[in-house]
Chains A and B, each alone.
Chain A
Amino acid sequence: MDPVSIRRARRGDLDQIIAIDATVTGLEKRNYWKSVYRRYGVAGPAERQFLVADVAGRVVGFVIGEVRDWEFGSEACGWVFGIDVEPGSRLAGIGARLLEAICASFRRAGVRKVRTMLSRDNKLILSFFRSQGMMAGPFIPLEMDLDEHVG
């Protein structure tokens, strides 16, 4: 495989990012990704990161996250809320490189903790984050159906 470089996402990467996401989730979300790019793309503030893994000019993965503070009662920390690598490029350490890169950005922004949240059924990505050293944090996600619990 050609060398992998991690860089900020560019507008021209969007089609490839949308395609990777659609391959993995089975759903194309073009408007969503355009909106993500506007918020986290190349011109965004340093605390917001939208990075891609580039192999010979081709985008094979991405990661998105940002530094947020005092939400959920938490001191400032980095949140990773999107990461993926196209299926054909997995098992080559690209996900780990993307996570390392965004963690480096978070460190530069002055935070010392990174968090994420995902479905407990998503064993693949759960295993990935675990393999990178992530452990269960001090927060518990809760939810309820609004039509059953009004008042």
Chain B
Amino acid sequence: MKLQKNSSLALYSVLEFAADPTRHISAAEIADKYGVSPHHLAKVLSELARAGIVESVRGVGGGYRFIGNVRRLTLMDVIQTFEQPGLPESGRREPGELTPVGKALGAVLSEIDEIAKATLSSITLTTMLRLMERQQRGPAESVARRKNNGAAHRASRSRPRPSPATKA
């Protein structure tokens, strides 16, 4: 799965806004940070505003600010504002799509798309912000955790047991 440029820009922007919902951020600031065209980004932000994810703030210190729910809004919600991942462009068929090889290949690629969609639908902005924090804390925290766990006793278990299955 490859995201369209607008979707990627929207995700960068929304995560910038969601990190501090009280802060107004200008399109120019985000464009500068991610090295993208301010004009292109302005169109993306305008679309996000129409979707009720951000709102524009006028005047000195204006820009955009986040108005969505960080604990509910998922990466997929943002992406779907711009595209339907996994769906072919309307009316377009790939050459060979209806051949036996094409159909089998389509089944494999659909499998990958389904997993990607489930992943994007399960990650909220809060989860992404936490993931970013963990990645920034990174190596130091992992080393400390390994040291703490180092003294733990590892019991010997060898009996086979039934396979797990998470219940909803």
Contact = CB atoms under 8 A, between A and B. Distances in A.
Interface in A110-125: 110-112, 115-125
Interface residues of A, number: 43
A82 B166 contact: yes
A112 B126 CA distance: 25
A68 B157 CA distance: 7
Interface residues of B, number: 30
B122 A71 contact: no
B152 A107 contact: yes
A71 B160 contact: yes
A130 B127 contact: yes
Contacts, number: 91
B71 to A, nearest CB: 8
A81 B165 contact: yes
A24 B32 CA distance: 47
B168 A24 contact: yes
Interface in A86-123: 107-112, 115-123
Interface in B148-164: 149, 152-155, 157-158, 160-161, 163-164
Interface of B: 74, 114-115, 118-119, 121-124, 126-127, 130-131, 134, 146, 149, 152-155, 157-158, 160-161, 163-168
